[in-house]
Amino acid sequence: MTKSIPTKFRAIIVGAGPVGLYLAHALSRANVDYVVLEQYDSVHRFQGAGILLYPHTLRLLDQIGLYEKAEKDFTITHTQIDLLTSNDPVTKSTPFWSMLGKQHAYPMAGLSRGQLIALLYENLPEKATRVKTGAAVLDIEAQEKGVKVRLRDGSIEEGSILIGVDGVYSKTRQILLQQLAQTPPDTWPMTATYQGLYGCFHSCHGFEPGTFYQSRGSGIVLQMLVGADKGYFAILRPISPTTESKRYTSEDRDRLAEELADIMVGPGVRFQDIWCLTDKESAAMVNQEEGYCDKWYHERVVLAGDAVHKATSATGLGVNTGINSAAALANELYRTLCSEPDPSTRAIEDAFARYQQIRTPEASRFHTIGRRHIRGVTWETWADWLFDRFVNPWIGVGKIVGIIGKLIQRGQILEYVPFTDREVRVPWKNRPTA
């Protein structure tokens, strides 16, 4: 049974994206007092492409009672089809996603970022008082027994710890590195190396629902997941590396779409055929950053998600890695509070150190996989082109499923929340102790 945590301990979560909201659920299940600070005026932000949830992440949602509530929004993914951006021929077709799903007893599920946020937010207990919008962080002050956060509106939030899950341009990380940990000001771990165009379109041109298309070429890759009545796409191409945050206009987006009109997205279908069916209100053009932060915490401040490790969306692993990190962090906090109800800064740092040690192997591995994959499918070098065109089509899908499966089976679980696992072919490494 989950123990009651003293109410004097309070966590401040900065960021109400999928990772921050999942962490709120995890702390709620641990009976830990918390507040979520979101800089925007609304939690519901629907821009962007679809999200692909892997089995280990669906298991975490199942544990907190959200899997069945989300199923109606899922596009279950079973087949991957690879083709070239310049012409029709399919270079490879495999049941990769269905094999991976069957191995772990959960499917590969696609849905929009907005649907995932709505799922987590609408089912969060006491959400009206726990989540504060329009709450942008200006400064963080470290204290002997906690942290004091000054917000843009002049208000103050005080807590025992602060958890920054505020994305790739994390204000929390900036303050942690430059002010609290005294890191040189020119240290910036995230660099935008690719540019992305994302969107959701309706009517699927007769595509087989649940198929993931990946159209690759020199300097570009288009990925598309289609469901019964709608589909999600993402187009990535390399840009000159930059650490500056860039906002694109709808005119920028439309010009890029016109430039890419003739690339193939599926057999007999060009991008212009789906762009005309795309919801322009939710379509977005953004830079895609990559980076890995060696310093995840300092005293009572800790980071998670894109704030510490970021790859492009090409593998779909970003939000999955972040949510699993949130579960690991919640476990370490729960253990610490059970043994030391009013933990010292040293005890908090020890918990954060264990969290980083637990998550580093998977996070760094997925980060490396992400970097290699995007460069391979956009043919960054002649060796990438050679491998993708003439070696990759002959690699057995079972081998790839085995490699990814070994990483998935190490997925996290909330140790303090009772849960009965499904029968699986590949046993999970982590199980609840409650």
The b-or-e profile of 60-85 (16+ CB within 10 A means b, else e) is bbbbbebbeebeebbbebbbbbbbbb
Query: Cα–Cα distance between 150 and 132 in angstroms, integer?
Result: 14
Query: Cα–Cα distance between 377 and 236 in angstroms, integer?
Result: 10
Active-site residue among 80, 174, 214, 223?
Answer: 223
Q: Cα separations (Å) of 95 from 79, 109, 316?
A: 4, 14, 17
Structure token pair of residue 243: 């650490």
Query: Residues 6 or more apart from 353 whose CB is under 8 A from it?
Result: 297
Active site residue 214: no
Active site (catalytic) residues:
223
